[in-house]
Structure 1
Amino acid sequence: MNWKDTKFTKAFGTEFPIIQGPFGGKLSSVELTALVSNAGGLGSYGFQPFTGTEMIDISRKIRMQTERPFNLNLWVKDRDDDIDLFQEEDFQKVIQIFKPYFEEVGAEAPSFPLSLNPGFEEQIEAIFDIKPSVFSFVYGIPSEDILEKCRQLGIKTIGTATTLDEAIAIEKAGVDTVVASGSDAGGHRVAFLEKAEESLVGTFSLIPQIVDHVRIPVIAAGGIADARGVKAAFSLGADAVQIGTAFLATQQSGTSNIHREILFSKEAQYTTLTKVFTGRLSRGIKNRLTEELKVWQNSLAPYPIQGKITGRLGAYPANTETHPEFKSFWSGQAAPLLKHHDAQVYIESLINQLNEIM
């Protein structure tokens, strides 16, 4: 069978079973999303921090650059459960932990209460207005009504699972496809049935478990950066692959030059799971902040308040090039395999290699 001819490509209308991972935190870009879709894959854009109006504007710009399907991504659970219990007294305790770092960079600590990002309820209405070919989501499953409306509007859906139980729940809800997101993936660990710390299954253990128990297409994600990883995922039964770090490292992504440089450096060998940056468990490259604040992992603010605090340190690469020792350099464990700085060159090389080895 031709490697391009899978349950995923048939259902989603792409030429290749290759998906660019959606990046939150304003690390996605219109250029990269359109480029991947135009190359025959499925380009993606992470809408986690944006308002409905911003989402509509960005989607219009993507459509100006591609007529092919693309994927828009949201976080279903956009607030931690304990956020309403988090009072100013708790906030000040966290600020004290970070006070030396604010002083070091000459930044002013935020004040309580903080304004938070737009919620899922507002954002999903924008998805209905935009009517993208594909809507993907993490940190849970949208309601039955939302999924039914997606079907009525002709929007294909992709859910994300970090465990077998989550994949079964996603299929049972009527979602079209499931991402098997292994613990080697970069960025947030998007578990929703159990704690993220208790849902750390490696990609190549997770894929066959999910393939054996669901009938919908399975997308492999985590630790896949070259043709060998894609072939291995297909050998285990995956119908497509989702690649994040390799696309994030290209000049077309929305991240900073300093982030790109570190992804191609020796430091990319050393990733860690940390809550320091956002209050939710995420995989990124070790730095001074992740290591010095390890002992405070369970004393931080809930999501998204914690991210507002570290944001004042310039923690997010898309916003500033300064103070790399305090930045959230998201990275999967396959970063040492990266070779390509240009997304067009990367995807063409990947497809050529797959044509040879598959």
Structure 2
Amino acid sequence: MTSALARSAAFCDRFGLRLPILLAPMAGACPPALSIAVANAGGMGACGALLMPPPAILAWAAEVRGAANGPFSLNLWIPDPPPVRDAAREAAVRRVLGTWGPEVPPEAGDATTPDFDEQCEALLQAAPAAVSSIMGLFPAAFVERLKARGITWMATVSTVAEARAAEAAGADILVAQGAEAGGHRGRFDAARAEAEMVGLMALVPAVVDAVRLPVVATGGIADARGVAAALALGASAAQIGTGFLRTPEAGIAPAWAEALGGAAPEGTRVSRVFSGRAGRSLATAYVEAATAPDAPPPAPYPVQRGLTGAMRERGTKAGEIGRIQAWAGQAAGLARAEPAGEIARSVWEGARRLLA
């Protein structure tokens, strides 16, 4: 256990942290206030910039930098190939979604994401302490530019093979994402996301043994016990997502926050019914209906995200959990409705006692 504390201390020294606790970069659920609170408590803030155009990325970074006493990271998805459209399939999905919200027009499936190359330029301009990737690896030319500017690359991996590939590609730190994690699965090969779901307790020591890089554990960690277990397995730090979602700084829909507090591990489900990419959410009424054997298969990402947009918006405004995109890890029931800074500090204090 002394080595676990030594690893965490070295990780903290690298970034000027007081706590080896990182906020998970949750796209759409990482307002500046949340990162500011985690960073000021001694951890590392984060932003999932997937859906943010460059000006929004720069504005987020400026606000956090102006109010936080600690570092933050910015995260991007590695883009998928353009989706293969299927009008008949999308029409079937739209008919089902029309029973859960407003009628969905065909053009709703034309959803796009911001230009990835332009987002990468914004990340370089924002100059965070670290940039993290998920769903694949950054292009070699971008990695060279990160290193030239002294920005750490944290690559999210979900298998040992991905960990080895990330190390070979020049990653500085690996974020090992267990299958317990809420939100989208980070599997490089989207088609294998459900078939190869490795739990964190098996993944962390396997990745630690396979590479020479520091490893950050994420997925199903929401309290001191989870942090202590991750470090005992060889991780240098822990990344928490769902565990911060009930905080006032996160500002998520009240119905979502309330449902998280009462969720059991088996009350979550990995599906593609919100975005077209595999992700873990609460097993709400919509999720149950959309994953039923007779339900039409979801459209690919980001088409499905566009098709479900009106339903998700209506559910959020009405406070109806059945229609909300309620991402949740399997440790959701451990999430506390307390200030984020207090959670970060108490989680690490408890973990340090357990490790000592």
TM-score (ref. length: structure 1): 0.91
Q: Which amino acid in structure 2 is aligned with residue 22 of structure 1?
A: P
Distance 2:266 2:259 in 1: 10
Q: Deviations over 1:97-126 (max 9, x none)?
A: 323223xxxx23133262412132221111
**1:86 — aligned with what?**
85
**1:190 — aligned with what?**
186
Equivalence map 1:86-165=2 (5 Å) = 86-102=85-101, 107-112=102-107, 114-165=110-161
Check whether the contact 2:245–2:335 (CA below 8 A) recurs between aligned residues: no
Check whether the contact 1:187–1:284 (CA below 8 A) recurs between aligned residues: yes
Matched, 1:8 2:5: no
Check whether the contact 1:22–1:45 (CA below 8 A) recurs between aligned residues: yes
Matched, 1:201 2:198: yes
Residue from 65, 73, 76 that aligns with 1:74: 76
Q: Which amino acid in structure 1 is aligned with residue 310 of structure 2?
A: R
Q: Percent identity?
A: 33
Matched, 1:210 2:207: yes
Q: Which amino acid in structure 2 is aligned with residue 322 of structure 1?
A: G
Deviates more, 1:274-283 or 1:293-302: 293-302
SS in 2 for 1:272: strand
Check whether the contact 2:194–2:270 (CA below 8 A) recurs between aligned residues: no
Residue from 164, 170, 177 that aligns with 1:174: 170
- Measured after TM superposition, the shift of residue 197 of structure 1 is 1.2
- Measured after TM superposition, the shift of residue 296 of structure 1 is 6.2
Q: Deviations over 1:255-276 (max 9, x none)?
A: 2111111111256751111111
Distance 1:160 1:150 in 2: 16
**1:303 — aligned with what?**
301
Residue from 44, 47, 51 that aligns with 1:45: 47
Instruction: Report the CA distance shift for 1:321/1:70 in structure 2 as closer, same or farther (over 3 A).
Output: farther
**2:25 — aligned with what?**
22
Instruction: Report the CA distance shift for 1:335/1:90 in structure 2 as closer, same or farther (over 3 A).
Output: closer
Q: Which amino acid in structure 1 is aligned with residue 98 of structure 2?
A: K
SS in 1 for 2:353: helix
**2:229 — aligned with what?**
232
Residue from 256, 259, 262 that aligns with 2:256: 259
Deviates more, 1:169-178 or 1:248-257: 248-257
Distance 2:287 2:206 in 1: 32
Unaligned runs of 5+ in 1: none
Instruction: Report the CA distance shift for 1:251/1:297 in structure 2 as closer, same or farther (over 3 A).
Output: farther
Distance 2:169 2:314 in 1: 34
Distance 1:354 1:98 in 2: 44
**1:314 — aligned with what?**
312
Q: Which amino acid in structure 1 is aligned with residue 135 of structure 2?
A: Y
SS in 1 for 2:297: coil
Distance 1:354 1:267 in 2: 22
Deviates more, 1:12-21 or 1:157-166: 12-21
- Measured after TM superposition, the shift of residue 297 of structure 1 is 7.0
- Measured after TM superposition, the shift of residue 315 of structure 1 is 5.4
Deviates more, 1:223-232 or 1:261-270: 261-270
Distance 1:67 1:46 in 2: 20
- Measured after TM superposition, the shift of residue 7 of structure 1 is 4.1
SS in 1 for 2:180: coil
Instruction: Report the CA distance shift for 1:166/1:53 in structure 2 as closer, same or farther (over 3 A).
Output: same
Q: Which amino acid in structure 1 is aligned with residue 324 of structure 2?
A: K
Distance 1:296 1:174 in 2: 45
SS in 2 for 1:197: coil
Distance 1:72 1:150 in 2: 12
SS in 2 for 1:22: coil
Q: Which has the higher contact order (CA 8 A, sep 6+)?
A: 2
Check whether the contact 1:75–1:138 (CA below 8 A) recurs between aligned residues: yes
Pairwise CA RMSD: 2.0
Check whether the contact 2:155–2:166 (CA below 8 A) recurs between aligned residues: yes
Q: Which amino acid in structure 1 is aligned with residue 233 of structure 2?
A: L
Check whether the contact 2:72–2:130 (CA below 8 A) recurs between aligned residues: yes
SS in 2 for 1:95: helix
Q: Which amino acid in structure 1 is aligned with residue 308 of structure 2?
A: T
Instruction: Report the CA distance shift for 1:209/1:269 in structure 2 as closer, same or farther (over 3 A).
Output: same
**2:324 — aligned with what?**
327
- Measured after TM superposition, the shift of residue 311 of structure 1 is 1.1
Check whether the contact 1:99–1:109 (CA below 8 A) recurs between aligned residues: yes
Q: Deviations over 1:182-230 (max 9, x none)?
A: 0011111110046101220000000010000110100111111111111
SS in 2 for 1:122: helix
Check whether the contact 1:6–1:240 (CA below 8 A) recurs between aligned residues: no
Equivalence map 1:258-277=2 (5 Å) = 258-266=255-263, 270-277=267-274
**1:288 — aligned with what?**
285
